[in-house]
Amino acid sequence: MVAEQYLPPWFSVAPMMDWTDNHYRTLARLISKHAWLYTEMLAAETIVYQKDNLDRFLAFSPEQHPIVLQIGGNNLENLAKATKLANAYNYDEINFNCGCPSPKVAGHGCFGVRLMLDPKFVGEAMSVIAANTDVPVSVKCRIGVDDHDSYNELCDFIYKVSSLSPTRHFIIHSRKALLNGISPAENRSIPPLKYEYFYGLLRDFPDLRLTINGGINCVDEVNAALRSGAHGVMVGRAAYHNPWHTLGHVDSTIYGAPKSGLTRRQVLEKYQVYGDSVLRKYGQKPGIRDVVKPLLHLFYTEPGNGLWKRKADAAFQHCTTIKSFFEETLGAIPDSVMDSPVREPPSGRDDLFANVHSLLPPPYETTEQEVLYA
């Protein structure tokens, strides 16, 4: 599979640990045919050490294309081995994690967002990854780390990585990361968004493809970012916590496809077939709760949602198939909800990017010396 056969990644679903697993991606693809999907971050070491058990970590159905594998790590040899092993699964792009602020990731040496402090290594890592695959490579990063948060430092990182490697696509989470004293969840809300940094990068790096991430919650805001010049937009929590009213509008509102008239009943009929086919595929895993987890947000704000979740909690205790789980729980949802297509998309914040071009930082200037001595 080659990425060129798909529509551009104007909309992508962010890689989210414990969330964007095979089950969620199956649901997402049933709702949207064109959104680009990302895996959870997989450590290169996991791929290498589980080389005899890789289907559990890397396998996905062909329908999930276009799909991007995100890997993390700080060992060049393992990154090379992991990339080679992943080639057999035909991902459409390989993305390198330079943005995760979790202590489990960033706290173990130079890993995750800490890698932004070592652009020379990131350039080497991207060269190693690119040398071991035939698909495009990309980097996901923040706009800064702790006190290393100036626009020029961000530009130094982008310039050095793109000069030292074949990397031409960067996904920019428009918040910096704070590594001490706050949780990963707080790192997604406490550091302020600085969209002007992202749009400064668009001005100063016209040869790169840049995707914006952070604080964008609906397709209306996605289109606002695209109109303001972003090459692509990545959405995280909104696509997970409200999949129907977020992903349900991607194909028509962002990609211009005809409205499908798809209903949640149709989605669940197909998901049931998938779910029952994967239950306990690897010993006792995945279980009912694992497979159903992404569905628990499918009826967000709808009548019957609360009762459906209470019924689900009870059904988890004894149901042994997805079919029986649905038979026991979906009666809580009115037919009018189950059989209606997605309603009009929610309106976004009109001022999200209104003044961003008047806030741009001064243009970045660099010299080749900075690359040579990075």
Active-site residues, by number, are 100
Cβ pair 252, 258 in contact under 8 A: yes
Cβ atoms of 107 and 80 closer than 8 Å: no
For tokens 């990545």, the residue is 234
From residue 168, give the alpha-carbon distance in Å to each of 85, 130, 159, 208. 23, 11, 10, 5
Please name the residues in contact with 335: beta carbons below 8 A apart, sequence gap of 6 or more.
none
Alpha-carbon distance 372 to 183, whole Å? 36
CA distance 254 to 34: 9
DSSP three-state, residue 161: helix
- The first and second tokens of residue 112, run together, are 């995750």
CA dist., res. 23 & res. 295, Å (int): 9
Burial class (CB in 10 A: 0-12, 13-18, 19+), 121: middle
